[in-house]
Amino acid sequence: MRSTMPEFPLTITSIMRHGTGLFGDREVVTYTGDGYRRLPYRDLAHEAARLANALRGLGVDGDQRVATFGWNNAEHLTAYLAVPSMGAVLHTLNIRLFPEQVVYIANHAEDDVVIVDASLVPLLAPILPEMKTVRHVIVSGEADTGALVSAGKDLHDYRTLLDGADDVFDWPDVDERAAAAMCYTSGTTGSPKGVVYSHRSSYLHSMSVCTANAMGLSADDRVLPIVPMFHANAWGLPYAALMAGASLVMPDRFLQAEHLARIIAEERPTVSGAVPTIWGDLLRHARRHGADLSSLRLVPCGGSAVPEALMRALSDEFGVRVVQAWGMTETSPLATVAHGDSWDRRVTQGRLLAGVEGRLVGGGDTVLSCDGVAVGELEVRGSWVTASYHLDEDTSRFHDGWLRTGDVGKLDADGYVTLTDRAKDVIKSGGEWISSVELENALMGHPAVVEAAVIGVPDERWGERPLACVVLDGTAGVAELREFLSAKVARWQLPERWAFVEAVPKTSVGKFAKRVLREMHTRGELTILES
């Protein structure tokens, strides 16, 4: 029997209409470094219409890719709404990648237009000539565009272009299955791969973000996405906020702890998402200088394992509830969130959200039981989990309709995922596996340890042994740290190699770049202390 329900399309256009139409008094606030720019959602709707008209005027009349090269601000949000809603495809370029990678990605995606923030013109200028398919560059903000001229592209000023455009747009009916946006994996592993989100997947993901098992957004919230809009869609927070009628507070390019502390104290966001390194910085800043973080009711944190010590410190000292979440560019990205009353639950990567299924796979691709004990690679599937990569024949990451996540860990019967490592970071010592993440988390619980990254290094006897690379703020010797660890992990897992470093190298999105550490070790650039 067929249902009586229509196949009413799930589109970003409808998120935009709902958010800007019914919550016109809500606002997107952009921090400027010394103040704030405010744009009520009712005006955001007109801005989106102007941008769509302007892009149409430049010949964007189909599924052309409109790339963004910018920070979290009102202009980026305008593109988030206008580009997919007009039927084109939003491509958020990651400004922190190596220039060659940005070129590769822009060419692979066949970007047609780039909207660039004025502050990033110097980054774009040297690579623009190599972006073969780009015809138009729209510069947002005051910039010396001289360096862009030689690339031979048509240059436009964002404000002039929009001021000359009609503020009403006849939004087309788009197919919910059509491409809405795309994002490339940041390449912690291998070359970047394109993930293309549909209107439908973005809509369903946004609904999921709004559920209480995820972030429970409502019209009472003010959301501060610190996680960049070029990294896995700022975890879906912008669309979810529009859907919930929540205001958005955008940090623009001011991501240092003192700016973030000021924004939180003044603009009083209730929800804010960022990777653990940002919260670690903010915690240290708040301890030194004091901070009013009292407006925050929920802080989703993820992108890499969230140290338990960080969660406890923010909770005990500042009353901030950090909730760990896990996901990937491939999963839109939200897939699990770790709510729960007990720390046993809160230190996991989280529970699978409705709409995402997970399983564990062991050697020989056998499916393991969800008993919270067996360790294997996590595989996921669902309506916002990609089933292929854009223009890529390589199917090695897909397995009978499931995505191989490359993350290794456990899954329990209640759907809680506990990751022990990324497959390539696991330390294989004498046939046993040592979780680098477990050692790092334990070490980061020591008061003098700011950051700790543990990598596997070759060992004659055991194949591989852990090397702990530690950043200190205060004093602690190897003997003390080893002693501290021995209360937390099995004796055979204790590192006997240690290196004190100034900082742990980070990837473009703020994760520990263990590959770089491994290379530094191979080149003999780390001073190793033996214990």
Q: Residue from 107, 119, 145, 189 that binds ligand ADP (CB under 6 A)?
A: 189
193 is catalytic: no
Q: Which is nearer to ligand ADP, 63 or 100 (CB)?
A: 100
Least distance from C-beta 225 to ligand ADP, angstroms?
A: 15
Contact between 348 and ligand ADP (CB under 6 A)? no
Q: Which is nearer to ligand ADP, 281 or 407 (CB)?
A: 407
469 phi and psi angles, rounded to 5 deg? -105, 120
| Spacing of C-alpha 47 from chain mean position | 26
Q: Residue from 326, 384, 402, 512 that binds ligand ADP (CB under 6 A)?
A: 326
Q: Residue from 26, 46, 65, 422 that binds ligand ADP (CB under 6 A)?
A: 422
One of 20, 68, 92, 185 is an active-site residue; which one?
Answer: 185
* C-alpha span between 509 and 484 (Å, rounded): 30
Q: Residue from 85, 101, 140, 185 that binds ligand ADP (CB under 6 A)?
A: 185
Q: Which is nearer to ligand ADP, 148 or 434 (CB)?
A: 434
518 phi and psi angles, rounded to 5 deg? -60, -40
Report the amino acid identity of residue 175: D
Contact between 169 and ligand ADP (CB under 6 A)? no
324 phi and psi angles, rounded to 5 deg? -75, 140
Contact between 509 and ligand ADP (CB under 6 A)? yes
One of 133, 433, 462, 464 is an active-site residue; which one?
Answer: 433
Contact by Cβ (8 Å): 499, 468: yes
206 phi and psi angles, rounded to 5 deg? -65, -40
Contacts of 269 (CB under 8 A, 6+ apart): 222, 223, 224, 249, 263, 295, 296
185 is catalytic: yes
One of 176, 330, 438, 440 is an active-site residue; which one?
Answer: 330
* C-alpha span between 390 and 89 (Å, rounded): 13
* C-alpha span between 465 and 454 (Å, rounded): 10
Which of these ranges, 5-13, 70-78, 203-211, 298-306, lies near ligand ADP under the rule CB under 6 A?
A: 298-306
Q: Which is nearer to ligand ADP, 68 or 435 (CB)?
A: 435
Least distance from C-beta 305 to ligand ADP, angstroms?
A: 4
> Which of 422, 318, 323, 334 lies closest to 385 in space, CA to CA?
334
| Spacing of C-alpha 37 from chain mean position | 24
Contact by Cβ (8 Å): 246, 222: yes
Contact between 405 and ligand ADP (CB under 6 A)? yes
Q: Which is nearer to ligand ADP, 437 or 468 (CB)?
A: 437
Q: Which of residues 220-239 bind ligand ADP (CB under 6 A)?
A: 232
* Residue showing the smallest CB distance to ligand ADP in the complex: 186
Contact between 210 and ligand ADP (CB under 6 A)? no
Contacts of 4 (CB under 8 A, 6+ apart): none
* Residue 294, both tokens: 């009292």
Contact between 78 and ligand ADP (CB under 6 A)? no
Contact between 303 and ligand ADP (CB under 6 A)? yes
Q: What are the helix and strand counts (H, E) for the chain?
A: 16, 27
Tell me whether strands 65-69 and 111-117 are parallel, antiparallel or unpaired: parallel
- Count the Cβ atoms, other than its own, within 10 Å of residue 96: 17
* Residue 422, both tokens: 């990324």
Q: Residue from 11, 349, 429, 435 that binds ligand ADP (CB under 6 A)?
A: 349
Contact between 438 and ligand ADP (CB under 6 A)? no
270 is catalytic: no
| CA 61 to each of CA 24, 89, 163, 179, 288: distance values in angstroms, whole numbers, following the listed order | 28, 11, 20, 14, 53
Q: Which is nearer to ligand ADP, 398 or 462 (CB)?
A: 398
One of 428, 432, 522, 525 is an active-site residue; which one?
Answer: 428
Contacts of 201 (CB under 8 A, 6+ apart): 180, 332, 383, 384
Least distance from C-beta 183 to ligand ADP, angstroms?
A: 9
Contact between 187 and ligand ADP (CB under 6 A)? yes
DSSP 8-state secondary structure symbol assigned to residue 464: E
Number of residues interacting with ligand ADP: please give it, by CB under 6 A.
Answer: 23
Contact by Cβ (8 Å): 152, 175: no
Q: Which is nearer to ligand ADP, 108 or 511 (CB)?
A: 511
343 is catalytic: no
Q: Which is nearer to ligand ADP, 245 or 302 (CB)?
A: 302
* C-alpha span between 81 and 175 (Å, rounded): 16
Contact between 407 and ligand ADP (CB under 6 A)? yes
Q: Residue from 14, 53, 201, 324 that binds ligand ADP (CB under 6 A)?
A: 324
Residues that bind ligand ADP (CB under 6 A): 185-189, 232, 302-306, 324, 326, 328-329, 349, 405-407, 419, 422, 509, 511
Mind telling me the catalytic residues? Answer: 185, 330, 428, 433
